[in-house]
A = this chain, B = another copy of it.
């Protein structure tokens, strides 16, 4: 089974961010807040959404930072996913 998001929507899945302290020690994500880092699972086709031309700028596999409280939480095949608009994705993390 596959999720095909409509319009400018993107399906993402939270990932635990690893934090590196200034001295170089890596701390696995243990903050109490839910992480705002995610992996892109599926990307809508874009096009004219709500009367505006939207070009999709993220792709499957991208690591992204997203706006807290945005989007819809969905449980799908045992996994917790978030479906949000591309506009709620703040940045792509490049390695």
Which A residues lie at the B interface, using CB under 8 A? 1-7, 9, 11, 17, 19-22, 31, 36, 42, 44, 48, 50-53, 55, 57-58, 65, 67-68, 72, 74-78, 83, 86-87, 89-95
Contacts and interface: CB of A to CB of B under 8 A. Distances in A.
Contacts of A3: 65, 91-94
A4 B94 contact: yes
B83 A74 contact: no
A35 B75 CA distance: 9
A6 B21 CA distance: 26
A92 B6 contact: yes
Contacts of A9: 90-91
A3 B67 CA distance: 14
